Structure 1
């Protein structure tokens, strides 16, 4: 899905954006030539996101000819003069230089920098930090920019398009640096600044809300925002189109429609080197491959995309955000140990970590451990998606050992959540045998037809847990094949009868069996007598 490498500057995304880009730069150059840096800065405040929608370095030559002192007094012009091609490797170095210079200007009490200018400069700093994988620095800069936006003057608020764009892009930066709560607040506040006569100014926030609600599993809200944004399709920026297509794909996957999801992702077609929204795109594409029955391909594409993104993809926040889908892909490939290791290594948010670990424990037949993980988040504030996954896992666990009344309550709770959210993906992420049991119970409780349970298909196969026996347990168990009595085994291995009994009890417990014939059958079926390194 990634576009081909390019050695040229990234152009504006489409003819509409290219026209706005050229128009904005013509205005800025005219203002600079006729009035100097002050009116040019006013153009920058009013049309900031049009000015950076194309190859800025080619148009910024007049700004680079300004005296250094004038650039320091006009931070937006200095920022434009220092921008470089986001697809080039030098972009990160240039970003660091800009961030250092901007910090000096913002921290100088002798320079009175307008709040909207400070917000724009802080947004640039946040995006630079995020691109370098410094998620804590990115989140701090984004929160500082959001604070500036809360105290804008009336004159600054009149720059409607820039104020709206700042909120949506700060929301994205906060989301991808691991602060989804602040992201939602920032984006919602951005809609309050949108002028009713200029709906395009708020479209970025509408698109971000669509993604946030889709990610939370609130499909109805996500669709509402998608429809609102697409009713102004002509005015949508390229990044907003990416957001809407990813949100649409997530909603389709929740309804177990990977064909539509893949089509939406193909339509999005972002440049993964430069788009700020690479993270949800990559995660959703991997989930679409999983839902299509191709977990291996999903994992390969995910790792390839992550490798191309560089330091940002290696950050703790990015790894944590991708850990859930990575673990699901490993489980679908029959690798529960790898899934568990990923969840431990990549430190997802606590709720996601508990849900992912519970899913692994369920696959390994560790019912008590799975239930313990679910109990650890019983008091947490969960999103709709997390509630659906937790309820599905709990019903699956209880169906393995609990009494009928307790199971009935859990299944009824699950059915009510799924009726409201339509999130069938939460069910399909159960191991195959558990999905069959849960599906039967949902039908028995009257939820089968409404949820179209007959359409469910398992994405996670039943996994025979890896059974690791000690060398002595393996030897005693292997001797069972040829020696029917404890005394014969003891003589063959030159050990005491009590040792044989002790080792067999331990091996039976690990195999989950209670007698010789069952032990031999399970051992042969699961290849536990094969010599291991």
Structure 2
């Protein structure tokens, strides 16, 4: 950063502060935003903190440094109008850059991912199509712009696009004179790779980040939180011995950093891998009290998928289906994978096969998600046929020997591992066993084998209040229904219709939310 720019910025902001004129203070901060951000962070925060909320909200870029902005973004009702064309025309290219940046970050803070993404795409296009003096300088903010655009895509779950932006940010950061720029861009790169399950790439980026200069006051919180979240996700997938230590280092549930949903993902994955589904549900409850996860967002995907997986592990299948039904058409990638897992647990093989078919053609899947999808397909094959073909068994054995997939293998039934072991050569089996022998695999609940008629009766008792009504609906005699009900109760281990209906919500996918007859 040019020392003269930094000195001039400090002098002008201090002069504006002495006048007490809020508009003058705001304009002086905006005019010297970038040098202040990098060399006088404390002065910039103090100046912004002295401004009333309405002035700060009038200039969204100030929200980045306002210590109250992240908290107020969760509880306040303020909203940002779109940038008016007349306003845009009246600004210089550099000023308009800052205005778009401020709107993008402000909408991201509010959880408005769709609007934040609109600004991110607009900003990315603008950087290519429109020149601005500050972007051509090595001490300029162009690396930071790409970082924030990438962070917006990352917050929306688009890790592939985020990595492209982080790559540009890192290349520019290496040319920048800001010492800690590379550390921050690489930490976000590592986080994106960790979410995709590309752990070797995440490891490499994280190791490189640790070698860079320590973070400056402006970046210390975001840089540290990002690196800790990436490290925790890597450990959660590998289920390493230091996983609990990595989880304890994560930011708190009410964190205001952009990385909070990634920290929550690491927490819930660790708890579920250690077979603590109720603790995972508690973690989700704590996070939901301080963060609004809008449908379609990455945060919503994390919360929904973790809740469904926890309820499935607790064998509360009806409640898990209800959450999926509430999510509707907004299911994210993690939720889709968890829905397949739930279908496999409940022997709903048709839904599982359809979900796997859709996921396997998704071009946005990362390495980890592709392995998980293929592993679920192997589970489906084993459940349907009672065995695996040699090709599938060989693939599963190869994945099982990779420490990066230990969490995924802890979430499949032991019968699948047994079938793989029986199908592959001893050497392949030994490599897999050496890697996953300490894992506790899923134990599938013994399920009653109902006849087709018994299933129809079980479905009918949720909508018909009397034996006679069921008999009329199924066109049989009441005595036949009574006989089938006795057989049902015996197989289900219950004695009343209410108990049978509750169990039916778990057994039959078509009865996700049964009504108890009066």
Give the TM-score of the pair, scaled to structure 1. 0.73
* Matching of residues 8-157 of structure 1 within 5 Å: 28-32=9-13, 43-48=32-37, 58-60=46-48, 79=62, 83=66, 85-86=68-69, 88-89=71-72, 93=76, 96=79, 99-100=80-81, 103-104=83-84, 107-108=86-87, 110-115=89-94, 117-150=95-128, 151-153=130-132, 155-157=134-136
Instruction: Please say if 1:282 is aligned against 2:271.
Output: no
- On the 8 A contact 1:399/1:407 being kept in 2, the answer is no
Return the alpha-carbon distance in structure 2 between the equivalents of residues 372 and 62 of structure 1: 57
Instruction: Measure how far apart 1:208 and its partner are.
Output: 0.8
2:367 match: 384
Shift of 1:246: 1.2
Match of 1:510 in 2: none
Provide the rounded CA distance (Å) in 2 between the counterparts of 1:357 and 1:234: 42
Matched residue count: 465
Change (3 A) 1:34 1:132: closer
The alignment status of 1:361 with 2:361, answered yes or no, reads no
Deviates more, 1:239-248 or 1:315-324: 315-324
- Does structure 1 retain, via aligned residues, the 8 Å contact 2:414–2:442? yes
Structure 2 counterpart of 1:243, from 207, 226, 236? 226
Please state if 1:214 is matched with 2:214.
Answer: no
- Partners of 1:253 and 1:471 lie apart in 2 by 43
Q: CA deviation at 1:434?
A: 4.0
How many Å apart are 1:503 and its aligned residue?
A: 5.5
Alpha carbons 2:398, 2:428 under 8 Å: kept: no
In the alignment, what sits opposite 2:439? Answer: 457
Change (3 A) 1:497 1:161: closer
- CA deviations 1:373-423 (Å, max 9, x no partner) are 21233332232111111111111221234386x622112223344556721
* 1:338 match: 319
Q: Return the TM-score normalized by structure 2.
A: 0.75
Structure 1 residue 211, shift from structure 2 partner:
0.6
Note if contact 1:57-1:83 (Cα within 8 Å) is conserved in structure 2: yes
Contact 1:242 1:268 (C-alpha < 8 Å) held by counterparts: yes
Report the more deviating stretch, 452-461 or 271-280.
452-461
Q: Could you say what secondary structure the match of 1:423 adopts?
A: helix
2:464 corresponds in structure 1 to none
**Alignment counterpart, residue 531 of structure 1, candidates 481, 492, 497:** 497
Aligned to 2:164: 185
Query: What is the alpha-carbon distance in structure 1 between the residues aligned to residue 6 and residue 253 of structure 2?
Result: 24
Give 1:395's aligned residue.
378
Q: Which residue of structure 2 lines up, in the alignment, with residue 321 of structure 1?
A: 302
Q: Is the 8 A contact 2:173 2:185 kept in 1?
A: no
Q: Aligned equivalents of 1:271 and 1:183: distance in 2?
A: 24
Aligned-partner SS, 1:286: helix
Q: CA RMSD of the aligned region, Å?
A: 4.3
